[in-house]
Amino acid sequence: MSKIYLLRHFKSQWNLDDRFAGWVDNPLSEEGIKESENIAQQFIGFDMDVIYTSPLSRNHQTVCRTLRLIGKKYPLFIHLDSGKMQKWGNFTDISENDLTTYVSEKLNERYYGELQGLNKQDTIKKYGEEQVHLWRRSYNIAPPGGESEKDVYKRTVPFYKKYIEKDLKTGKNVLVVASHNSLRAIVKYIENISDEKIIDLELPFGALIKYSFDGENYSHLQ
């Protein structure tokens, strides 16, 4: 029986500034760093074998801080995109102090298009709360020039099945550190949430969702 933990990154600077971050790379805020201090106890009994994350620095920082706080190995970041895995090989000789951490843009946050960088409250004043909520949380509606949750699902879930679920089927315990909408897509797949109900799923900063996997079915862990 393998385990998978899904961890949303801690609060970034643009999250603190209430701006649409999307694919824009910005670091964790001081508030987010302080919030991370409470994560260690949630990993008791979880012996992770591999980590998956996106290229965004707020996710990388969350990986690094989490491993430091729980006293695990150091992350060895290996990029899976653009044929880099083939270039660098399989890393069969990595140090016992390294923990393989695969990086892929498939796990990036939703691309917010024309909204990226805008203040969320100013955007609500301009377009209305209901419209902005649909852009942020609905399944089929995309913000101007950006991705819908369906678009995120179509890039994230095939990657999940190809790499992450494959690792789970071999008995590995996996930690996924990513952003809100890529994790929402994964949870939608795991829990078979309908297109209509996914709008209700919210994962706060630092949220940790735990599952066991028996090779076919997922079960929630406390």
Active site residue 9: yes
Instruction: Report the C-alpha gap between 140 and 149 in whole angstroms.
Output: 6
Which amino acid type is present at position 138?
S
Which amino acid type is present at position 89?
G
What is residue 28's DSSP assignment?
B
Counts of helices then strands in the chain (DSSP H, E): 9, 7
Q: Which residues pair with 3 in a beta bridge?
A: 212
CB 133 within 8 A of CB 84: no
List the catalytic residue out of 30, 35, 60, 109. 109
Instruction: Report the C-alpha gap between 26 and 110 in whole angstroms.
Output: 15
Please choose, from the candidates 205, 219, 213, 212, the residue with its C-alpha nearest in 3D space to the C-alpha of residue 29. Answer: 205
Instruction: Report the C-alpha gap between 133 and 83 in whole angstroms.
Output: 37
Active site residue 109: yes
3-state secondary structure of 77: strand
Catalytic residues: 9, 109
